[in-house]
Amino acid sequence: MTPVRCSGCRRTVAYTRSPDPVRRAVYCDAWCASEPDLDPYEERHDLWRMLYLVRGLSTHQIATRFSVNHGQVYRLMARTARPQ
């Protein structure tokens, strides 16, 4: 069985026997459809921002703790500092 997940919140809304159940986005309700899709890494990025801005850790220290490339953390912090 393959779970069919909401494209907004990633919550399982159904199950199917088909390996490729849908070709278009499926949402669990109108609210999820109106909100932007959830980035699967958003929680991790929020934690990185908190460690960088509040705790004062460097991008290199954050990258070492999460075993990721230093440039990945640096680019996220550069986007965070830039006005929208």
pTM of the model as a whole? 0.56
- Using H for helix, E for strand and C for coil, what is the string for the chain? CEEEECCCCCCEEEEECCCCCCCCCCCCCHHHHHCCCCCCCHHHHHHHHHHHHCCCCCHHHHHHHHCCCHHHHHHHHHHHHCCC
What residue segments make up the domains of the chain, in order of their start? Answer: 2-34, 42-81
In this prediction, residue 61 carries a pLDDT of: 95
pLDDT value of position 48? 93
Q: Print pLDDT tens along the chain (84 aa).
A: 888 888 888 889 989 888 777 777 888 888 888 877 667 788 899 999 999 989 999 999 999 999 999 999 999 888 876 555
